[in-house]
Each structure stands twice: as C-alpha cells, then as structure tokens.
Amino acid sequence: MPVSQAASSNTPLTREAMEAFWLPMTPNRQFKSKPRLFVGAEGMHYVAQDGQRILDGMAGLWCVNAGHGQRRIVDAIQTQAAKLDFVSSFQMSHPAAFELAGRIAQIAPSGLDHVFFTNSGSESVDTALKIARGYHRARGEASRIRFISRAKAYHGMGWGGLSVSGIVRHRRDFGPLLPEVDHLSHTHNPEQMAFSRGQPSWGAHLADELEKLLAIHDPSTVAAVIVEPVTGSGGVFPPPVGYLERLREICDRNGILLIFDEVITGFGRVGAAFAANAFGVTPDLITCAKGMTNAAVPMGGVIVSGKVYDALMAGPENTIELFHGYTYSAHPLACAAALAALDVYQDLALFEQARRIAPLWEAAAHALKDAPHIIDIRNIGLLAAIDLRPRDGAPGARGAECASRCYDDGFLIRASGDTLLLSPPLIIEEEQIAALFAAIRRALAAVG
C-alpha cells in the first residue's frame, strides 16, 4: 500500500512505511517495532489507531492546556487559512499580530509589555538570550555576555538553550556549546523536602549560590540568569519558598537580567497566566510557547519589559534595532490560533479552574505515597512528578514499564527515567483525576 494511503487510513503502518520518519527524542527502532499512533483527539482524550480512547495525562507534551479539538480554535485556524495564509513580519505584518501581542501583555505581569514572536520554546530561549546580550551592548555594557542557569534545567534544543541546559544527556554528544555559561545547583533535596506539597519550605538559601558565581565571574560579565520558575521536564521541582525572590534581588543588585523560561508554566499550568504572576516575582523577560496556541499551531514568544525594549529602540529610526527574527514569526495561522486560545482560556476561566482543582490534584497525587516503589511525590498547579526507586541494575526500567502499563490501561503519562511526569489539560475533572491516579496505582502494583 502506498504510504499516503496508509497514513490516511486506520490500517496499521508497515515497518517499511514507517522507515522515513526519524522521530524526535524517541528510540526510533524500538518505537517502529511497537508504534503508538493516534488518529484523533477530543477534550481529555486521544483516540489511538486501534480505536482505544486514551486519557491524556500530559496535555500532549505540557501544551494542550484547554483540551483537544477546541472548536473555537479550529474555526479560527480554518478561517484564517482561507483569508490570509501567510505574510512575513519582516518590514510588514498583519493586524492580528499586534492584537495578540497586546492581549499577551495584558495577562503578563505588569511591566512586561512587548512580545517578540517565535515558533517554539527553543527559539524563544535562544531569542531571549540574544535580546539579553543585545540589551547590555546597547547600554554600553558589552562585557556582559555570560549566562547563569541551573542544573536539571531544560531550555530546549537550540544551541543557546542547550548551552544553558542542565541535563547532561542532552548536552553530551554535541561538542562545544557556548562557553560563557555557569550553573546554579538545582533545588531538589529529598532529605529536606521529600513529599512536600507545592513549594518546599526548605531551600531559599540555594539562590545565594548566585552570589558565589558572581564573585568568581564578576557581575560585569554576566548578562542574564535564566531559570524555569518550576523546573519542568527535569522532574517538576517547584521553587522553594523565597528562592525566586532572592534570585530577583541579587540580579537587581548586580544589573543582571532575570529570564523566566515559562514554556511549560505559561498559560495557566500553575493556576495563573504565568508562574511569575502566581509567585509574585517579575522577571525582565519571559519565554513561552506550548499553551500559547493550545498547541494547535506552533508558536512561541519572548515577553519583554519596557526597560529592555526601550534600551534597544535606539539609533536612527530607519535602522533595524535587533537583527533577529524568523520567517514564521507571528504567522497568521498561529496568531489566529493564539487569539482563539486566549478567548477559550478566558471564557472557560481555565486558569482559575486550574487553581481551583489543584488542591484535589495534590491530594490525589500524594495519596499514592503508600503505593509500591515510591520515593518522592511533588506537585504544583496541575503538575506532578512521582519518583520511583530504580530497579537494581536497570535504572529507568521501572518508570518506562509503569508508563507503558498505564498506556495499555488507557492513560497517557510520561516517564523520564524513573520519574513519572503528569501535566493534564486544565479541563480535567475530579473523576478523571481519580481514574488517572488509580491507573498509576494499578501499574505500580503490577511492575516488579
């Protein structure tokens, strides 16, 4: 059967038909011998090729915050595609791009009032790092080129994001990265905070490591500190109480920009538009993507303070202020999807809904404490992570088997090594939360 026919039908793909697609971040050979293919999605559920309905415990990949197939978003994309399929934003643009930037600035913390559009979280991070260096140079501090990030951080797959990444397996195989980078310790210390609910009370002092790094490098060489306010892919580590405040204070005292990477936490994940709103700490730049369009069209952005934007709006008015941008920055389809997604978030009050249901989510997650193999459980907003004791001699096997059993049982969760990660659409209901954690309990009881 030709590949095109196979792809459009519900007939399982042959190995040959799967050969050409090199899947990202996937063990390709294993996947192709036991593929997991979806052909539909609606609300909280995926529909697998074999017809099984799978409850989406990951909002796709931390991104479908309003649930799948939101009619308003679908309609907006279809209408836009028929009306204006594409216009570049290099020296031209379209009205929806301006409207969207304004709407995002409205829900961002006050003072963050300009948006640079990208197409992904990775592009947002690389863009933010470039803006940070550009900002200092524009102000006559070209020596500020260094970035400080954190162990266990995930900042995407671009060279900049990889350079500030704190996950060794992501960095290891690719040769020299940006040399001017240093890392803070991560904030997870199970001895002090295992099974803490929400923000751990221990650990604010870890932000003081920034002072030590500044003493080594000299503040005049540092452009920005970049952190995920809640470490996401690295294992869901909510910030210790007071930690982000302290980072903010040290950055302010030393003329350093603070970047929050909110690619996961943006658009409601922790019960507010951004984690910055939820924690009451305002960075100079926010990177975002994922939930921006409810993942229906790729889009990302960097939300920038007036201070940063104004510093770069210098020089003759006929010169480009920042030599940076992407063909698809502010793509009309993405803007239409994002505007509709913001309408859905607002009309269904989904950020408030996430905040309302978070205590129930927390209770359900922590009720697993007595299940087999569990060594830690963490949660914040509608995020949770469950650490399993690794099986002797086979690290990661228990996590993978547990996620696989959940899938066979009709529940999509994610395993990163022996950590189970959960991030459902914000529309998840009480019974679905109960069913999801019951499935995890069954899987834990079944894996050796």
Ligand X SMILES: Cc1ncc(COP(=O)(O)O)c(C=O)c1O
The reply to whether 261 sits near ligand X by the rule CB under 6 A is yes
Handedness of CA 425, 431, 437, 438 (dihedral sign): negative
CB of 252 vs ligand X, minimal distance in Å: 23
Select the residue whose beta carbon is closest to ligand X and give its number.
Answer: 121
Among 46, 135, 147, 154, binds ligand X (CB under 6 A): 154
Binding mask 181-220 for ligand X (x = CB under 6 A): ----------------------------------------
Yes or no: say if 419 and 403 are a contact pair by the CB < 8 Å rule: no
Stretch that binds ligand X, among 118-126, 383-391, 420-428, 438-446 (CB under 6 A): 118-126
Contact 226, 367 (CB under 8 A): no
Please pick, from the candidates 56, 182, 228, 401, the single residue that binds ligand X as defined by CB under 6 A. Answer: 228
Non-local (6+) Cβ contacts of 284 within 8 A are 224, 257, 258, 259, 304, 305, 307, 308
CB of 244 to ligand X, least distance (A): 15
Count of residues engaged in binding ligand X, rule: CB under 6 A: 14
Is residue 224 classed exposed, middle or buried when 0-12, 13-18 and 19+ CB atoms within 10 A define those classes?
A: buried
Q: Which stretch binds ligand X (CB under 6 A): 105-113, 257-265, 319-327, 394-402?
A: 257-265
Closest CA to 330 of 74, 96, 21: 96
Contact between 289 and ligand X by CB under 6 A: the answer reads: yes
CB of 15 to ligand X, least distance (A): 28
Asked if 416 and 61 count as a contact pair (C-beta separation under 8 A), the reply is: no
The CB-of-232 to ligand X minimum distance in angstroms stands at 5
Per DSSP (E only), the strands in 247-299 are 257-261, 285-288
- Give kind and range of the element (H or E) at residue 445: helix 430-446
Q: In whole angstroms, what is the distance from residue 75 CA to residue 103 CA?
A: 20
Stretch that binds ligand X, among 70-78, 86-94, 202-210, 260-268 (CB under 6 A): 260-268
Segment near ligand X (CB under 6 A), from 115-123, 216-224, 237-245, 375-383? 115-123
Only segment of 38-46, 120-128, 190-198, 315-323 that touches ligand X (CB under 6 A):
120-128
| Binding of ligand X by 120 (CB under 6 A) | yes
Nearest CA to 40 out of 56, 27, 24 is that of: 56
Question: Smaller CB distance to ligand X: residue 152 or 155?
Answer: 155
Candidates 100, 264, 308, 435: give the one binding ligand X (CB under 6 A).
264
- 342 three-state secondary structure: helix
Regarding 126 and contact with ligand X (CB under 6 A), the answer is no
Distance CA(133)–CA(257), nearest Å, equals 10
* Residues of this chain that bind ligand X (CB under 6 A): 120-122, 125, 154-156, 228, 232-233, 261, 263-264, 289
